[in-house]
Structure 1
Amino acid sequence: MFLQVNHLEKVFQTRFSKEKTHALSDVSFTAEQGEFIAIMGESGSGKTTLLNILATLEKPSNGDVVLEGRQISTIKEAGLAEFRRDHLGFVFQDFNLLDTLSVRDNIFLPLVLARHSYKEMAARLAVLAPKLSILDLLDKQPFELSGGQKQRVAIARALITNPKLILADEPTAALDSKNSDVLLDLFEQINADGQTVLMVTHSSLAASHASRVLFIKDGKIFHQLYRGDKTPRDFNLDIMSTMTAILGGE
């Protein structure tokens, strides 16, 4: 199994209070290599906490996460940055690009930190840039780009390390509808090429491009839907119905 999430629990407790908040309660699921999974739930449901644990940014209170046989929740603090760089790719709603660097250098940054040669970095970018339609952007600065262009650059930066897993946190939240559609089509293409993608989103439209949707409610997996051979439009209707049931407490 590519990814296993086993009985995750996350409990938060403030320093000055004995009150405990259970952000996650016994969350378990698996993912095959090459899946595109969306995680949905209302604010405070635990989906961001789950993403942070998968990203090794937080440790679970109980349970574990296993990626290709490796239990990532036990990785020592000193090795976490290297693990993220070598195995995970991140796409965030606020892009996280550095305006002091060119687009090309922003994309190269994780490989520079891993001390790859310029020749190798250039070779990887030569493959990615045409696919993401960013060839004409490489010498620009991020502040010169539109939101949609910035997000494509952020995806290139995530993919250039050849990560095992792409983690996307609300990747369409800062985009208009046109750029959101372009981005989601791009995620589908990336997934069709074999990349595993796990995306947290509030948007049923965004989730409808995934092959499976996990719904979280009160820190637990409430339900899941498989897209199968449905179009994104038809799958979107199923997702909206499920979200209505969740919000209605059915």
Structure 2
Amino acid sequence: MALLEVNNLKKTYSTRFGGNKVEALRNVTFSAEEGEFTAIMGESGSGKTTLLNILASLDRPTGGEVLLNGRDITKITEKEMAGFRRDHLGFIFQDFNLLNTLTLKDNILLPLVLQKTPYKQMISRLSPLAQNLGISELLDKYPYEVSGGQKQRAAAARALITRPELLLADEPTGALDSRSADIMMELLAKVNEQGQTIIMVTHSIKAASYAKRVLFIKDGQVFHQIFRGNRSNEEMFSMIAQTQTILINGGDLNDRQ
């Protein structure tokens, strides 16, 4: 059984006065195996952010289901929701979402504090994770004292320290310079190789080229997908770029894999 199963997912929004309805998602169906790294791409307004918000249980669909380890997260009650996100999901946001009044160490440990994890266990998780992400020397600094790339690595540590079943990343390189973006994606690829399942929404072809699979969303539907196989990042980059060009120009993708 796949770790994540999305079946016939629909999301319809009504305009302010209810006169018109907008279909943000239409019968979206796909699955993700444990240990997979999936990138979701699409033009602005394609529905990819709506999809990510539903996977993150931050929004509810109009129809369909989202199964995480067999449990339909769309049926989780509001009372259970915060605890479910904290215990099962990890989040990396474009704008970091770190608290400036806390050190990087305290920002990273915050999810475990909320889980009432014993302090010794917190530190035993923090040390190897910080070392893996290259921020061991920065833990006593505050977010405003470090670079954007360092903030994002701290945000990644915060997302990973609970050992989530699913890591969701929303434009994780969007606020970074090119060098910091490369470092961030190399770290995510490394974490994925260690077994972490990742779903990432991105506009960046280069970021998507690190994934094992790329899903293209168009007009609220999964329109096409590319599997890495034995391809290098450079080959993935080329295929993604070509596919985006075809999608934008309304071409035929039937012969592509």
Smaller-chain TM-score range?
A: over 0.9
Name the SS of the counterpart of 1:236 in structure 2. helix
Q: What's 1:57 paired with?
A: 58
**Structure 1 consecutive aligned stretches of length 4 or more whose deviation exceeds 4 Å:** none
Alignment partners' CA distance in 1, 2:51 and 2:95 = 19
Q: What's 2:110 paired with?
A: 109
Alignment partners' CA distance in 1, 2:70 and 2:213 = 22
| Per-residue deviation, residues 195-223 of structure 1 (Å, max 9, x unmatched) | 00000000111000000000000000000
Q: What's 1:228 paired with?
A: 229
Name the SS of the counterpart of 1:21 in structure 2. strand
Alignment partners' CA distance in 1, 2:236 and 2:96 = 27
Name the SS of the counterpart of 1:90 in structure 2. strand
Alignment partners' CA distance in 2, 1:112 and 1:192 = 28
Alignment partners' CA distance in 2, 1:52 and 1:129 = 27
Name the SS of the counterpart of 1:139 in structure 2. coil
Alignment partners' CA distance in 1, 2:236 and 2:16 = 44
* Contact preservation (8 Å) 2:12, 2:23: yes
Q: What's 2:175 paired with?
A: 174
1:16 aligns with 2:33: no
* Contact preservation (8 Å) 2:15, 2:22: no
Q: How big is the shift at 1:48?
A: 0.1
Alignment partners' CA distance in 2, 1:199 and 1:162 = 17
Q: What's 1:184 paired with?
A: 185
Alignment partners' CA distance in 2, 1:218 and 1:116 = 43
1:14-93 to structure 2, matched below 5 A, reads: 14-93=15-94
Q: What's 1:216 paired with?
A: 217
| Per-residue deviation, residues 133-164 of structure 1 (Å, max 9, x unmatched) | 11100000000010100000000000000100
Alignment partners' CA distance in 2, 1:61 and 1:235 = 34
Name the SS of the counterpart of 1:107 in structure 2. helix
Which 5+ residue runs of structure 1 have no aligned equivalent? none
Alignment partners' CA distance in 1, 2:25 and 2:163 = 30
Identity of aligned residues (%): 58
| Per-residue deviation, residues 78-131 of structure 1 (Å, max 9, x unmatched) | 000000000000001100000000110000111111111111111110121110
| Per-residue deviation, residues 49-95 of structure 1 (Å, max 9, x unmatched) | 00000000000000000000111100001000000000000001100
Alignment partners' CA distance in 2, 1:249 and 1:111 = 47
Q: What's 1:197 paired with?
A: 198
| Per-residue deviation, residues 163-207 of structure 1 (Å, max 9, x unmatched) | 000000000000111011111110110000000000000011100
Alignment partners' CA distance in 2, 1:18 and 1:119 = 56
Counterpart amino acid of residue 128 in structure 2: V
TM-score w.r.t. length of structure 1? 0.99
1:85-164 to structure 2, matched below 5 A, reads: 85-164=86-165
Q: How big is the shift at 1:15?
A: 4.1
Alignment partners' CA distance in 1, 2:69 and 2:60 = 18
Name the SS of the counterpart of 1:121 in structure 2. helix
Name the SS of the counterpart of 1:168 in structure 2. strand
Q: What's 1:237 paired with?
A: 238
Name the SS of the counterpart of 2:64 in structure 1. strand
CA RMSD, 1 decimal: 0.6
Name the SS of the counterpart of 1:9 in structure 2. strand
